[in-house]
Amino acid sequence: MPYIPFNRPRIAGKEFDYIRQAIENMHISGDGLFTKKSHVLFEGLLGVPKALLTTSCTDALEMAALLLDIKPGDEVIIPSFTFVSTVNAFVLFGARPVFIDIRPDTLNLDENLLESLITPSTKAIVPVHYAGVGCEMDAISEIAASHGIAVVEDNAHGLLGKYKGKYLGTFGCLATQSFHETKNFTCGEGGALLINDTEYIERAEIIREKGTNRSRFFRGQVDKYTWVDVGSSYLPSDILAAFLYAQLEVRDEIQAKRKRMWKYYYEHLQGWARDHGVRLPVVPPHCEHPYHMFYILLPTLKQRQAMIEYLEKHAINSVFHYLPLHLSEMGRRFGGTEGDCPLTEHVSDRLLRLPFHNCLSENDLEYIVEKICNFVGG
């Protein structure tokens, strides 16, 4: 059996044609034809007032921090169970991260803990929709609104997922997407900022364009463009947008395949999981997830490590996910210690992500499931 990687990108449609077109258009810098097409697609599909492609989700998060005027002394409530960028983007501008623990079912931030962590310095809450399963946005939005705190959704995993019938990424004043190679739709490295509060649109365009009003100039709203605010270079080349747009065009086909793969794992691992004290993903009935990943929760760290080694011996690449950020070197500098987020610590030891990408074949899935079900160890 050839090695089955955890992730592999796939050419899904007209990626090469569109890259050629971008080059023939002689517009390979940012905000060319394919960037604009992607913006229009997101705005129409999700119903967001403004979508802006960025060079990564990390950069979209940094834009969010700049838009919220994050300053030293501000506090931002963020799950410890997330990727480093969710936190780094705010810490970069001086924020102190306040780590919140997760719910045992969805592994999303536990909204019941929010009130106890809010202080007069709290500037933002950053829910991460883990595996694209929606956080409890009703409760989070209500708590945030009652304290006048901004909500920024880190929706890196959750494009096309829904909470109570509404797209993820449309709840916070701002939301961020990732098009990194590991995501359902990719351009290698890429992201987007979704802007739901229209007050942020004009400044977001400026921040994304090195602090200049270049976007207004190209729309003919000013007769020259100049430096008007802080900013950076957050817009991707149109070559990347061309690749991404080709993937987005065939999103239904990609999603149908991912749904089949996810269901295959779920249905074929259910009995084994029940018999071995292994937990499969939980998707509450009011959430529709976009089939971003498949994970299993083994009973102990020892069993998880043994499973990784065992699968690797059988040419299957599986990976753990998220070391608790409050226990990282940086997290400890902010005062993080063992026991601060007990569920995060427990889950992080036991979670295993199985290969899940658009190139997986039915044979691969059958083989992986067969090997897992034959696992005796740990």
Ligand X SMILES: Cc1ncc(COP(=O)(O)O)c(C=O)c1O
The binding site for ligand X (CB under 6 A) comprises 56-58, 82-83, 85-86, 128, 154, 156, 178, 180, 191
Nearer to ligand X, 154 or 273 (CB): 154
- Closest CB 243 distance from ligand X, rounded Å: 14
- Closest CB 163 distance from ligand X, rounded Å: 16
Nearer to ligand X, 58 or 122 (CB): 58
Nearer to ligand X, 188 or 377 (CB): 188
Nearer to ligand X, 85 or 358 (CB): 85
Q: H-type helices in 236-318, by residue range?
A: 238-249, 251-276, 301-313
Query: Which residues are registered as beta bridge partners of 36?
Result: none
- The answer to whether 79 and 131 are in contact (CB under 8 A) is no
Query: CA-to-CA distance for 176 and 169, rounded, in angstroms?
Result: 7
- Bridge-based pairing of strands 75-79 and 96-100 is parallel
- Closest CB 41 distance from ligand X, rounded Å: 18
- Residues whose CB falls within 8 Å of the CB of residue 96, separated by 6 or more in sequence, listed in order: 73, 74, 75, 76, 121, 334
Nearer to ligand X, 32 or 190 (CB): 190
- Closest CB 86 distance from ligand X, rounded Å: 5
Nearer to ligand X, 273 or 341 (CB): 341
Q: Residue 284's CB: how many other CB atoms inside 10 A?
A: 15
- Closest CB 87 distance from ligand X, rounded Å: 10
- Using CA of residue 318, residue 88, residue 49, residue 225, what is the dihedral sign? negative
What CA–CA distances, in Å, run from 328 to 1, 72, 80, 322, 324?
37, 21, 10, 10, 7
- Closest CB 151 distance from ligand X, rounded Å: 15
Nearer to ligand X, 157 or 214 (CB): 157
- Closest CB 377 distance from ligand X, rounded Å: 29
- The answer to whether 48 and 40 are in contact (CB under 8 A) is no
- Residues whose CB falls within 8 Å of the CB of residue 367, separated by 6 or more in sequence, listed in order: 1, 4, 316
Residue type, 62: E
